[in-house]
Structures are given as structure tokens and as C-alpha cells.
Amino acid sequence: MLSPEAIPPPPHPGAQESPMVDSEFDAFADDYGALHAANISLSGEAPDYFHEYKISDARTICSALKIEAKAVLDFGAGVGNSIPWFRKHFASSALTCADVSARSVETARRRFPGNERFAVIDGRSLPFNDAEFDLAFTACVFHHIPHSEHVAWLAELRRVTRPGGALIVFEHNPWNPLTVHAVNTCPFDVDARLIAPPKLRTSVRLSGWRPRGVWHRIFFPHFLKALRPLERFLRAVPLGAQYCLIATRP
């Protein structure tokens, strides 16, 4: 495993290799909800279903790991679609929402006034102190970051998470053809490069985290939702539409 000192600091997310990332999400901030709803229409679900299940899973994972998660970072929080679900499932936690898109951050602040803290990521590091969070959460963000930068940004998430804290990364599954179709036809995924679970696991390990497992998720569309309680038995089957990688900081 590389020591933290051996990992170079990350460039600004999307710098040089994908310079449109910041401006791209600024441009989509006002229309994100409608675009997302249209893109996932084949699933038969509204966007809130996908926003909530991730936060509900994160709550289950933290409980299993016995992590109280008093302070939570949502890395790549966008326009704040997860905020209501963090309020529901992490009601006693202090939530910080961070994103590279200043317009998205302002949209989130305006949509969900409350006690959350908001931050714009502008530079080569996260604007937070060492060991500030109990949980670093990120959903469908890393496929927008050049793969060559993953280890560095995961190491930065490790820096701001306390020893014993958790990392939870949700990503689209490149082994699911419906997911690949949805990404290929999504206007705000034009820069996306999907990440196979083993590759993400390797990056997580190299950045100093301890991988704890992968959950594969979203096997059944809305018309088969009665079967969704069976998903907990399918977590090892790499065919779900999305997956969740779980790690802890040693």
C-alpha cells in the first residue's frame, strides 16, 4: 500500500483532462431534476427513489460498522437532492455538502435552507480540516473524475475522515447494459467513464482506505418492486444497475 505521503495532491477535479466538468454542471444546475427524471424513465421510478435508497443503505452500513456518523461529508452533492434523505436517515448528523460547481452549491442552499454547511471545492484539496468527518459519502461522482486522479482524491477524502470512519462510494455498474445505455444518453454524463468495481476497489486500497466490501444494487424495475426485498441476498451478484463500495479508515 502506498503511504499517504507518497500520494501526490490531486489537481482540481476535471482540470486539464476534462476541463468542462465545472462549467458543465453549472450549466445543468437549473435543469438537473428534469433531465435526470427523463434519463431514468425506463426504471419506472422517480429520481427520489434513487436518491433515498443510497442514504438508507448508508445508514444501514454505518449501523453495521458501529459508526455513529456525527459529521457527514457529501462529496459531489450537486444541487442537494440527497439533503432531505440525510435529514430523514441521519437526523442527528451534521451534514456538509461540497461540490466543484458553485452554481449547484448555491442552488442546493436555496432549495434546502437549514443547518447544512455548504462548500465549493476550488483547488487541489478539500477545504476541510484533517479527520473532520465520521463518514465520507459520494454518489455517482467518480465517473466524472479522470481515472488517473481517483487515488489522489480518495486519499484526500481519507485525510478529512477520522480514523475508524467510513467511506461509502456509489457508482454506476459498467457491467449492466441498461445502465450503460442510460449513461450514454444522459446529457450531463458526456464526460463519464464508468468504473468497474475491482478497479475502484484497487484505487480505494491504494489511497490508504481498508476496503470492506461491495454491494451490488438495483436489480428490479418498478413493475417488479415486490421482489426488492430479495436484493439483500443479491449483493454479491455483479449485475445490478449500481454498486456501493464500502471502506474504513485504519
Looking from the CA of 68 toward its CB, the CA atoms found within 13 Å total 5
- In this predicted structure, which of 97-111, 163-177, 186-200 has the lowest mean pLDDT? 186-200
Q: What is the CATH number of the domain that holds 214?
A: 3.40.50.150
> What is the secondary structure of the chain as a DSSP string?
---GGGSPPPPSTTTTTSTTHHHHHHHHTTTHHHHHHHHTGGGT--HHHHHHHHHHHHHHHHHHHT---SEEEEET-TT-TTHHHHHHHSTTSEEEEEES-HHHHHHHHHHS-SS-EEEE--SSS-SS-TT-EEEEEEES-GGGS-GGGHHHHHHHHHHTEEEEEEEEEEEE-TT-HHHHHHHHT-GGGTT-----HHHHHHHHHHTT-EEEEEEEE--S-GGGGGGGGGGGG-TT-TTSSEEEEEEE--
Residue-wise pLDDT tens digits, 96-148:
999 999 999 999 999 999 999 999 999 889 999 999 999 999 999 999 999 99
pLDDT at 24: 55
Residue-wise pLDDT tens digits, 200-226:
999 999 999 999 999 999 999 888 999
Based on the structure, what is the number of domains in the chain? Answer: 1
Residue-wise pLDDT tens digits, 73-86:
999 999 999 999 99
pLDDT at 45: 74
pLDDT at 241: 95
pLDDT at 201: 98
- In terms of C-beta density within 10 A (0-12 exposed, 13-18 middle, 19 or more buried), how is residue 161 classed? buried
Residue range(s) defining the domain that contains residue 98? 4-248
Residue-wise pLDDT tens digits, 4-57:
333 344 443 433 333 334 445 455 545 545 544 445 445 457 789 999 999 999
